[in-house]
Amino acid sequence: MNAQIIDLYTASTLNVEVKVEPFYIEGESHPDDCLFVWGYKVIISNNRKTPVKLRRRYWKITNGLGSSQEVQGEGVIGQQPVIEPGTSFEYTSGAPLSTPSGIMFGYYTMEDEENGLFDIHIPAFSLDCPYQKQTLN
Query: Measured between alpha carbons, how far is 86 from 112 in angstroms, rounded to an integer?
Result: 15
Domain-located, residue 23? yes
Judge whether residue 2 has pLDDT over 80. Answer: no
Any idea what the CATH number is for the domain that residue 117 is in?
Answer: 2.60.40.1470
Q: Is the pLDDT of residue 5 over 50?
A: no
In a domain, 136, yes or no: no
The domain total for the chain is 1
Query: Does residue 56 fall inside a structural domain?
Result: yes
> Does residue 84 lie within any of the structural domains?
yes
Does any domain span residue 137?
A: no
Q: Give the model's pLDDT for residue 137.
A: 42
pTM of the model: 0.88
Which structural domain, as residue segments, surrounds residue 109? Answer: 3-126
Rounded mean pLDDT of the chain? Answer: 91
- C-alpha span between 99 and 66 (Å, rounded): 10
Share of the chain above pLDDT 90, in %: 85
Is 131 domain-assigned? Answer: no
Residue 15 located in a structural domain: yes
Which pLDDT belongs to residue 33?
94
Alpha-carbon gap, residue 11 to 103, rounded angstroms? 15
DSSP 24-73: EEGGG-BGGGTBEEEEEEEEEEE-SSS-EEEEEEEEEEEETTS-EEEEEE
Q: Does residue 81 sit within a domain?
A: yes
pLDDT at residue 134, rounded to an integer: 55
